[in-house]
Amino acid sequence: MKACYFVCAVVLAGFRPCPAQHVKVVPDIAIAEAEYLDANEAWVRNDPNLEGELFKGDPEQMRRRIHTAAGLRDDAMAKKQTYLSAMIGRLEDLRGRLIQPATGRIPVDTMRKNLEAEQVRTLDEQRRVEGLLADLPVGDEYLLVRRALDEERSSLIKLQNEVALRIRSLDSLDKAQQAIQNASGPDALVEQMNGIIKLWDQERAATNRQRALWAKLYVTMEQSLDKKSPGPQRRAAAPRGSEKELRRQVAAGGASTTAAGPTAFAGTWIYRSQPGAWSGYGEPETATLEIQEESGALRGTYIARLPVRTGLHEIRLVLTGERQPGNALRLRWKSVAPAAEGEMDLKLGADGRLLVERVRSSDAYIPRGMEVLLRR
């Protein structure tokens, strides 16, 4: 038995051949965490005096500051969710590895049998050499032979001692493997890992709730701003996001007794910021609607800058539709960049205001929402 056999067995312990390797890309948790921390820092440094100056500055300027802060905060919370999901995924992967059956133990029993067989062979060889020495006649002519047999016997005794030491080492190694397996078995480790994953899951759930609460906070701030800035010629503001109240305001003053013809919609309509004039994710920065009537058909364009979670989106829609009786109509719209289509409802109020509602969109880039436009 060569010493290199034992060394190689120890080095290769834990490795097992497999027909193919499964490569799994693990999300870079460090990058996800850095992006979250950067986004959170951007929100913290953006407008620290927003709450204190909410009712002191120009309402339009304060509204834009609220929208900016809301977008930055939502972006930070979204990146935190991504970071927590990556961390949970990594922990679940580790738990999956613990559940797998334990492999890669050093084959102590096989190695012990080989060493014991080597020990028996060595003892037999030692007894043979000692027998030759005993039968060797006394005399100077046998001195060289006796010396050679003595050296061989010493070598065999030394080899026997080394084999015995290896057997004892294997016994110690086997006891250590058993102790490790009994002290922290897979079930105990999996139970501990489940507790850790549960804590991270709770943190992710709390982040989801906090994200919704932050969005609600900024909506409440804007509602408070509207209530504190009445304006000399403005009607009482309805809560933001109340589509039912927006519709009621457009129809305020009583429904028109005569149905408006399609030409009543023709012209240029623009959005002017005022309380209760929009619903959706946020107030439009700009919105311009142009409609023309051509041989009984309606055509037009809708150009606007609309807020979404990731910032402001500039959209350009081409509108088409047929002449319809009454003071309401539905137009189809198409967008080139991005390629999308949907529908838009128009309703003309008795006070001359136009309610525009994007009721359907095939692409999330163009958000659904509603705003009130005034004729230019």
Does the N-terminal peptide bond of residue 230 adopt cis geometry, omega within 30 degrees of 0? no
Please report whether residue 137 resides in a domain.
yes
* Mean pLDDT of the region 168-185: 74
219 and 250 housed in the same domain: no
**Residue 62 neighbours by CB under 8 Å, 6+ apart:** 50, 53, 54, 225
**Residue 334 neighbours by CB under 8 Å, 6+ apart:** 317, 318, 320, 340, 341
Please report whether residue 283 resides in a domain.
yes
* Mean pLDDT of the region 163-176: 84
The pLDDT of residue 293 is 86
* Band (148; pLDDT cuts 50, 70, 90): confident
Residues forming beta bridges with residue 344, ordered by sequence position: 331, 358
Out of 205, 229, 253, a domain closes at 229
What rounded mean pLDDT belongs to the chain? 78
Structural contact between residues 1 and 115, judged by C-beta atoms closer than 8 angstroms: yes
The pLDDT of residue 242 is 53
319 and 173 housed in the same domain: no
pLDDT (tens digit per residue) in 113-130: 888 888 888 888 888 888
Cα distance from N-terminal residue to C-terminal residue, the chain: 100
Coil, strand or helix at 231: coil
The pLDDT of residue 102 is 52
Report the range of poorest mean pLDDT among 84-93, 143-152, 257-266.
257-266
Q: pLDDT at residue 168 above 50?
A: yes
Please report whether residue 237 resides in a domain.
no
Number of helical (H) and strand (E) elements in the chain, helices listed first: 7, 9
Q: What is the DSSP string of 107-173?
A: -HHHHHHHHHHHHHHHHHHHHHHHHHHHHSPPSGGGHHHHHHHHHHHHHHHHHHHHHHHHHHHHHHH
Residues forming beta bridges with residue 360, ordered by sequence position: 343
Phi-psi map region of 296: left, alpha, beta (phi>0 left; psi -120 to 50 alpha): left
How far apart are the C-alpha atoms of 92 and 86, rounded to whole Å? Answer: 10
Out of 183, 202, 229, a domain closes at 229
Please report whether residue 235 resides in a domain.
no
159 and 253 housed in the same domain: no
Please report whether residue 238 resides in a domain.
no
How far apart are the C-alpha atoms of 273 and 72, rounded to whole Å? Answer: 22
80 and 215 housed in the same domain: yes
pLDDT (tens digit per residue) in 302-352: 999 988 877 788 899 999 998 778 888 899 999 887 888 999 999 988 888
The pLDDT of residue 271 is 92
CA 335 to chain centre: 30
pLDDT (tens digit per residue) in 187-200: 677 777 788 888 88
* Band (55; pLDDT cuts 50, 70, 90): confident
Structural domain of 49: 1-229
Structural contact between residues 375 and 354, judged by C-beta atoms closer than 8 angstroms: yes
Count how many domains the chain has: 2
How far apart are the C-alpha atoms of 277 and 369, rounded to whole Å? Answer: 11
CA dihedral for 270, 271, 277, 281, sign (positive or negative): positive
The pLDDT of residue 290 is 93
Please report whether residue 299 resides in a domain.
yes
Structural contact between residues 358 and 304, judged by C-beta atoms closer than 8 angstroms: no
313 and 216 housed in the same domain: no
Burial (CB count <10 Å: 0-12, 13-18, 19+), residue 25: exposed
225 and 254 housed in the same domain: no
pLDDT (tens digit per residue) in 235-287: 334 444 455 566 665 555 444 444 455 568 889 999 988 777 888 778 889 99
* Band (173; pLDDT cuts 50, 70, 90): confident
217 and 274 housed in the same domain: no
Structural contact between residues 205 and 198, judged by C-beta atoms closer than 8 angstroms: no
283 and 190 housed in the same domain: no
74 and 190 housed in the same domain: yes
Structural contact between residues 226 and 237, judged by C-beta atoms closer than 8 angstroms: yes
Task: Give the pTM.
Answer: 0.38
The pLDDT of residue 82 is 92
213 and 293 housed in the same domain: no
The pLDDT of residue 101 is 55
Q: pLDDT at residue 234 above 50?
A: no
What are the structure tokens assigned to 124, written together? 């037999």
How far apart are the C-alpha atoms of 244 and 252, rounded to whole Å? Answer: 12
The pLDDT of residue 139 is 76
What CATH number is associated with residue 250? 2.40.128
189 and 254 housed in the same domain: no
